[in-house]
């Protein structure tokens, strides 16, 4: 009886972890794609470095570094395209997400629950805002912020 319950619980935990990992992969892929939209000269970190967030315990500290670097990279990219945006380019949201992630590992149940729930909410907001910024960058012309009139190479012939 208890063996069946433990097996069922184990299966649900495994499925939950698998779903969580898949969601996190899509999240990190979105952040990587956001950084790939930035010119090399504006990048503060290589896009591939977002995958370092999969390293346990290291990711608690690295989150503070990564979210700051993403914010600065995106800010520089928008400014280089002469398309500055209002706001702080995800800096505050990233800092809050890193803080909540760090607090959620403190072994106090009430604190873990509140920080975990807050972290989930901010995680979703950050993901949506990062996707919006990625799409804005994709819609803007690359380079010095000028307007691209045509893709036709024979335009002046």
CA distance 43 to 145: 17
Q: Are 18 and 11 in contact (CB under 8 A)?
A: no
What is the reported pLDDT for 19? 98
The whole-chain average pLDDT of the chain stands at 91
DSSP letter assigned to residue 82: T
Site of tokens 């509140």: 114
Asked if 67 and 98 touch (Cβ cutoff 8 Å), the reply is yes
Cβ atoms of 76 and 54 within 8 Å: the answer is no
Among 39-48, 119-128, 135-144, which is the least confidently predicted range? 135-144
For the cut 70, the answer to whether the pLDDT of residue 32 exceeds it is yes
d(CA 136, CA 93): 18
Query: What is the CB neighbour count within 10 angstroms for residue 136?
Result: 15
50-54, 75-79, 107-111, range with the lowest pLDDT:
107-111
- Residue ranges covered by each domain of the chain: 19-139
pTM of the predicted structure, to 2 decimals: 0.85
């Amino acid at each position: 009886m208890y063996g069946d319950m433990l097996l069922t619980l184990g299966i649900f935990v495994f499925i939950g972890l698998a779903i969580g990992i898949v969601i996190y992969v899509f999240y990190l892929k979105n952040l990587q794609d956001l950084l790939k939209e930035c010119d090399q000269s504006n990048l503060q970190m290589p896009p591939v470095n977002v995958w370092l967030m999969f390293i346990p315990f290291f990711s608690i500290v690295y989150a503070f570094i990564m979210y700051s670097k993403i914010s600065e990279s995106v800010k520089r990219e928008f400014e280089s395209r002469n398309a500055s945006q209002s706001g702080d380019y995800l800096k505050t949201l990233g800092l809050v997400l890193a803080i909540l992630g760090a607090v959620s590992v403190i072994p106090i149940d009430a604190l873990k629950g509140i920080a975990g729930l807050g972290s989930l909410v901010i995680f979703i907001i950050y993901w949506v805002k990062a996707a919006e910024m990625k799409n804005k960058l994709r819609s803007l012309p690359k380079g010095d912020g000028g307007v691209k009139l045509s893709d036709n190479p024979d335009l002046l012939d």
